[in-house]
Chains A and B, each alone.
Chain A
Amino acid sequence: MRIPTPSHLRQNLLCAAALGLLFLGGPFPQVQSVLHAMLVLALAPRPEAPLAGALWALAAGWTLEGTLRLFPHFGGTAWADMTVVLLAGWMAGRWPLEGLQGWLVRLAGLSLLHALAMHGAVVLAAGSHPWGWGWFWTLASVPLWGWLTWRLLHAGAASGRR
């Protein structure tokens, strides 16, 4: 059974909402980390529109770095986000979704990869830094936000509409 792809409008609206929440979640780093992963890994990737997904990922990365009061010109988070979102989009086209379980497993793996890529890029850009526990909360809450995004993107999407 092939899972229908959500419409552009719905996806972009959800991305915008997640980006707003990400911006507003500055005082709560753990929540912001989860929102950031959700936007980059679940909402933004789209196999047939990599540019749009990359732009959303860039926006998410720059927003996170800006609200974390880091120097905005570091750019490591944005670069890692763009790389991972392109990878996630390619994976979505290469291995289409078949159910919630596969979706959660894919999100968990991508979360791990995203954390590693993000911190690696930040290390390249700014040197060593404290990792914090955001990656842990993100990984621990994969079932929650994975189910949520599944419901928002795929389960509720009209079939065939683009």
Chain B
Amino acid sequence: MALRASRWRWSRTVWQRLILVLLWLGHGFWVLLGPSPGRHWTSLADALSRPAQSLAARWEARRVARREAARNFAETRAENVRLAAELAQLKTWAAQEAPALSEADSAVRLLGLKRQIPLELASARVIFSTRPATFGGLILDRGADLGLVPDQGVLVPEGIVGRLWSVSGSQSKVLPVDAPNASVAVMLMRSRATGVMQGLGSGRALIRYLSNQEVVQVGEAVLTSGLDRVFPRGLLVGYVAEVTQGDLELQVIVNLSAPLDRVSLVLLLPSQPPLEVQAPFLAPEQKPQRKRGKP
């Protein structure tokens, strides 16, 4: 109780100790500050301003990114416009070049067919078509000048087209196989049954003289038989579209495989070709031999 009653007061000793402590702490602080006290203030200011600096850096980065994005957008739009113009130009060019490309494609395919048939084949261009008219045909740009004679077979890679009907000096007329007055000796691929195909118009034809005993399937391929001495044996004519039982014979409707309305280049078989031609011998391609143990 007595100790609690004695109150603390500013005595001389307290003052001395306070001054002593302040002196000691002041000197210690001064020593710890080091040779350049300004450095510490700079460090403190740096530490305090770090959030603001970070914020400013982010803001600047965002501005740069936006500026870059805007520039990219403008460049992209300009590029888009340029590409659109280029695309339109290319489309126009493609439309202009489409016939030539189609003809070139046909020529390439004709060349492939020519290599497969070991006969002296001539080529001609279709310059006009009268097929929509009754007994119409195809007009070729070559005639007697190329040594053409009537009854030469005409074909395209997809199948046979017809035969030469008439030949003039520099032109000739083709009787297509779907003409009502055209006939081709054909055979069926599976049954090897032979018959005579007559045109029905519109890319269709009818095979006659097929026995009721023959088994014919829809979709079966129809080939030339070579018996008419216009086409050699084995050229594709078309595919069976419909089979009907008749009283004495089968009624077989054939879809012709050659696109008669879109023919531009044709091949001409020689007159009176052999009944059958052998496909040229083509050496198989050499496969790269791999030694055992090597990948």
Contact = CB atoms under 8 A, between A and B. Distances in A.
A71 B24 contact: no
A85 B123 CA distance: 125
B34 A58 contact: no
Given A51-B16, A51-B19, A121 B31 contact: yes
A125 B28 CA distance: 9
Interface in B7-35: 16-17, 19-20, 23-24, 27-28, 30-35
A51 B30 contact: no
Contact of B35 (A78, A83, A126): A126
A83 B16 contact: no
B24 A124 contact: no
Interface residues of B, number: 14
Interface string B72-108: 0000000000000000000000000000000000000
B16 A75 contact: no
Contacts of A82: 23-24, 27
Contacts of A73: 30, 35
Nearest to B33: A125
Contacts of B35: 71, 73-74, 125-127
A124 B32 CA distance: 6
A83 B32 contact: no
A58 to B, nearest CB: 7
B50 to A, nearest CB: 26
Contacts of B17: 50-51
Contact of A50 (B20, B28, B32, B34): B20
Contact of A79 (B16, B19, B20, B31): B31
Contacts of A6: none
Contacts of A124: 31-32, 34
A76 interface: yes
B40 to A, nearest CB: 13
A76 B20 CA distance: 17
Nearest to B34: A125
Those 7 A-B pairs whose CB atoms lie nearest each other, nearest first? A79-B27, A125-B31, A51-B16, A75-B30, A79-B31, A76-B31, A126-B35
Interface of B: 16-17, 19-20, 23-24, 27-28, 30-35
Interface of A: 50-51, 54, 58, 71, 73-76, 78-79, 82-83, 86, 121, 124-127
Given A58-B23, A58-B27, 10 more contacts: A50-B16, A51-B16, A71-B35, A76-B31, A82-B23, A82-B24, A82-B27, A83-B24, A125-B30, A125-B34
